[in-house]
Structure 1
Amino acid sequence: MDSSYAVGDLRVSDAEREPAIQRLQDAYAEGRIDHDEFDMRVQLAMTAKTRNDLETVTRDLVPVRERERAVAEEATGEDRMLAAVAHAVAVPTLFVGPLVLMLVSGKRSQYVRRQAKEAVNFQVTLLMVTIVTFGVGGVLYGLAWILSAIAAVYALTGQTFRYPWILRLVK
Structure 2
Amino acid sequence: MNRLPSLDLRVGDAERARAESLLQDAYCVGRLDEVELDQRLGMVMTAQTRRDLNASVAGLPARMPVAPGTAPRHPQATGLGAVAHFSALFTWIFGPLAAYAAATPGTPARREAAKAFNFQVITALVAVVVAVVGGMLLPEAAMEVIMPLGWVGWLVLTVMGGARALSGQRFINPVTAIIPLKVLDPDR
- With the length of structure 1 as denominator, give the TM-score of the two structures: 0.49
Q: Rg bigger for which structure? A: 2
